[in-house]
Structure 1
Amino acid sequence: MPLARICGLVGLVAAALTLVGCRSAGAGATGKTAPSGFRLAGLEEDFAPLAVSRRTEAHARYALGYLHLLHDELDDALAQFAHAARLDPGNEGLVLEVTERLIKARKTELAYEILTEAVKQPGASAILFARLALVCQWLGKTNSAIDAAKIAIARNPKLWLGYQCLAQAYFQNKQRDEALKVLEQASQQEGVDAGFLLDLVELYRTIGGPATDPKVKAQATRVLERVDTSQLTNPLWLQRVAELWDALGQPDRATAAYNRLLEQYPNLIEVRRWLAERYLRSADLTNAAVQLQLLIRDNPTDPRPYFFLGAVALEQRKYKEAIDHFNKAILLNPDYEPAYYDLAVAQLSAREPKAALATLEQARAKFERSFQSEYYAGLAYHQLKDYTNALQRLLAAETIASSTATNRLNHIFYFQLGAAYERTQQYDQAERILRKVLAMKPDFSEALNYLGYMWAERGTNLAEARLLIEQAVSLEPTNAAYLDSMAWVLFKQGQVHEALDWMLKAIQHSDEPDATLYDHLGDIYAALNQLEKARQAWQKALDIEPNDTIRKKLADTPTASGKSPP
């Protein structure tokens, strides 16, 4: 295209020239005109006819490239932009803008050619050398990248891109120690902004591996401590501070940074969600609940906060609250299967087994049968004292888990299965399963006590029963149930006086009156021929819970006057 034709286009796209900041072909009062957003090299313009002509054509080429862009002709536009940059390599604004476009279009070799020529110009700035270093890295020209980055740092020690390129080049060249020296040099710069410091910490994280290198972690921590969050107003920087503290293994500082971010921008829902999860992970249930309530306030139709609030309430043993929250979560998202099982757990914890069974039936109707649906149903039937159905459901859960989730078949599960066998009077099976439990977890005090008490109650294996119960008591010396078992096995062994001491201790440590304890106490007093005390103990048992067997013992035992009760 003739130059005159090209120049004729300039007036049509004058606005494009101001966008890129191309220098005027003529001279201002000082011989310089600064492109918007870019520094000049600091030298006088060359006003030789050839230089002026090249700059004029560069303007025109850029304008033509802009026209191609307007018509979505990207390749033609880039060709004109590149031509413009070659014609005027001393125009840093033009070179940087054009090479950025070329890099985005993956024409890295062309960007490299233009930058190589641009850095030869007198007074070429640090940013040009840093850009060249970056391009050299991408092209695998590691040594050239190192050389260019060093010059960038020398010309502007506060330019982050120079350190980044140099450190990355060393790291790619398997010179990690040299890369860390570059980061150390960067960390010594004063008067840099928060962005510089945050980028530095990020590179420490990438190159240094602070998770495994304590020295690097300490260096990164010192740099991040220089970022004064009280002065930050940029939300992206505040979020990066929080994320970097979290990456450095300091969640409390991350939490503080996120709270600072929320003080300025309270509507950032994702930040609140992160804080809620963070508080949940650290078992700070109070603060977790605060954030979850705020999430509900901001988005009342989101089921997730209700679900997590239910989990918090369940952990805090606020079972009614947990039930309410899980019900709301299911109402808002009836397809979220875990909510049904957590609701059932809350209902079981609140001693509402019928409600739990109804919830589990909902889940079974909507989803495939699962370990959870069968296991929790087994626990619900156990609470209802329907031990046959409890055993049936637990065996179904075992079958499902054996092919889909064997990790669920742990000592807790088998303890429940063993108890169901015992309750259905299948004592040999109960013993087999409970021994399996103790093989899996020898210090499981509940299983030690349960098997020992089962034998003591039936008057079998009394020596081994006593050993198991002694182990349980040693693990939980104030557990009233275990103390009762100890008294009972001694009673069965004929050591009645010793049994009395243990039984009185069991009653002392019981959180609430227990009919079984007073029934056993009555039996022990009767064996010691202290009949009035026996009658008093049995009467207390009946006051707590009606029982025909205890009522008969009371009726058959004479009063203090020697008369049988009416």
Structure 2
Amino acid sequence: MSLTGFTPLETIKRQQKDLMSLTGFTWVILAVIFIVLAVKGDVSALDKKASLPLTHYIMALFYSNSGELDKAVKEYEESLRLDDEAALVHLDFALALIKKNEISRAKDELNYSIKFDPEAIEPHAVLALLNLAQGKPSAAFREYVAALKNASKLNPNNPEVHFYLGALYSELKNNVISEEELKKAIVLKPDYAEALNFLGYTYVENNKRLKEAEDLIKRALKVDPANGAYIDSLGWLYYKQGRLKQAKETLKKAVSLMPDAVIFEHLGDVNFKMKDVGNARFNWQESLKLNPNQDDLKKKIEALKNK
């Protein structure tokens, strides 16, 4: 799990636009309207040339939203055949390709999106997260940090730029700059839940400024009270503070909302600290089921054999 609560690829897949909340029927109606207007030539305020690629784009979003990814790909391709300089279409096409695990092709589309809209934030951030998800070394996405730094110069008042920079610098183990960027994001947007939780959890992980961390995490929870990742952050804070009973109850709530390897491990750590070896073993084993690539956790479970 990332500090935001999800793995990098999950984070990408959750970054869908408000349009995606429309019902399937609404999508079809929108597409039909554009098609009819284009065929009749009655486009009035709409540009006829633009309406056809837009129609294919709308249908691509519809198919992507409904899980019909092969059909979505065909619509994206047709939209871009008619207008290959549409940066947003390249970006959304990349997100659909990521869902299909066509990562190399997705990267190509993201680079096209950047080419046609150099000031955009999302393509750089998604590229960085893809490199991270693929296990590339930190040097592989330093260039994307630089790209986001450029974006922050072009648009210094955009909190998302600073949030993404903070997240990436955290992955580069540069907590000083990471914290600076996250603070900038929060100043620009005081109710920015992701940034509040990220900074709070960073403090908890580094066992510093725990009182400030508690304030930050609780502010995030005011915005999104049912977020399992944020509740996990609070439970882990209680553990660091030695408030084990509160930690256990909070982490049990978190894992019920979001069964995640990190949260199960946290709950296991709390139970172990409370000398509840049986439940600690169970929690750690559940964590290992969700993410088998945890050598340190395997050692903890192995050490329980003598207890």
TM-score range, shorter chain: 0.7 to 0.9
Matches within 5 A, 1:54-203: none
* Alpha carbons of structure 1 residues 443 and 348: separation in structure 2 relative to 1, 3 Å: farther
Distance in 2 (CA, whole Å) between partners of 1:535 and 1:303 is: 56
Matches within 5 A, 1:347-426: 347-348=97-98, 353-362=103-112, 367=115, 370-372=118-120, 373-386=123-136, 387-400=138-151, 402-403=153-154, 406=155, 410-426=158-174
Match of 2:58 in 1: 308
Q: After TM superposition, give the deviation of residue 287 of structure 1 in Å.
A: 3.0
Contact 1:296/1:306 (<8 A) preserved: no
The partner residue of 1:551 within 298, 303, 306 is: 298
1:342 aligns with 2:92: yes
Deviations 1:282-304 (A, max 9, x none): 967623423415755986x9323
Contact 1:319/1:349 (<8 A) preserved: no
Contact 2:149/2:165 (<8 A) preserved: no
1:531 aligns with 2:277: yes
Q: Which residue identity is paired with 1:392? A: E
Q: After TM superposition, give the deviation of residue 348 of structure 1 in Å.
A: 4.5
* Alpha carbons of structure 1 residues 481 and 342: separation in structure 2 relative to 1, 3 Å: same
State how many pairs are aligned.
271
Distance in 2 (CA, whole Å) between partners of 1:310 and 1:391 is: 32
Overall identity of the aligned pairs, in %? 25
* Alpha carbons of structure 1 residues 459 and 291: separation in structure 2 relative to 1, 3 Å: closer
Q: Which residue identity is paired with 2:267? A: L
Q: Which residue identity is paired with 1:389? A: A
* Alpha carbons of structure 1 residues 400 and 530: separation in structure 2 relative to 1, 3 Å: closer
Match of 2:46 in 1: none
Q: Which residue identity is paired with 1:540? A: E
Matches within 5 A, 1:245-260: none
Match of 1:26 in 2: none
* Alpha carbons of structure 1 residues 400 and 432: separation in structure 2 relative to 1, 3 Å: closer
Match of 1:289 in 2: 28
- Which secondary structure state, in structure 2, belongs to the residue aligned with residue 553 of structure 1? helix
1:518 aligns with 2:270: no
* Alpha carbons of structure 1 residues 368 and 481: separation in structure 2 relative to 1, 3 Å: closer
Q: After TM superposition, give the deviation of residue 530 of structure 1 in Å.
A: 0.6
TM-score by length of 2: 0.77
Contact 1:374/1:393 (<8 A) preserved: yes
Match of 1:333 in 2: 83
1:487 aligns with 2:235: yes
Match of 1:447 in 2: 195
Distance in 2 (CA, whole Å) between partners of 1:497 and 1:432 is: 33
* Alpha carbons of structure 1 residues 449 and 351: separation in structure 2 relative to 1, 3 Å: farther
Distance in 2 (CA, whole Å) between partners of 1:337 and 1:310 is: 15
Contact 1:319/1:350 (<8 A) preserved: no
- Which secondary structure state, in structure 2, belongs to the residue aligned with residue 425 of structure 1? coil
Contact 2:148/2:161 (<8 A) preserved: no
Match of 1:213 in 2: none
Distance in 2 (CA, whole Å) between partners of 1:450 and 1:350 is: 29
Q: Which residue identity is paired with 2:209? A: N
Deviations 1:381-425 (A, max 9, x none): 24434444334213213315634xx27x61122211101111111
Which is bigger in relative contact order (C-alpha 8 A, separation at least 6)? 2
RMSD over aligned Cα, in angstroms?
Answer: 3.0
- Which secondary structure state, in structure 2, belongs to the residue aligned with residue 302 of structure 1? helix
1:496 aligns with 2:244: yes
Contact 1:356/1:380 (<8 A) preserved: no
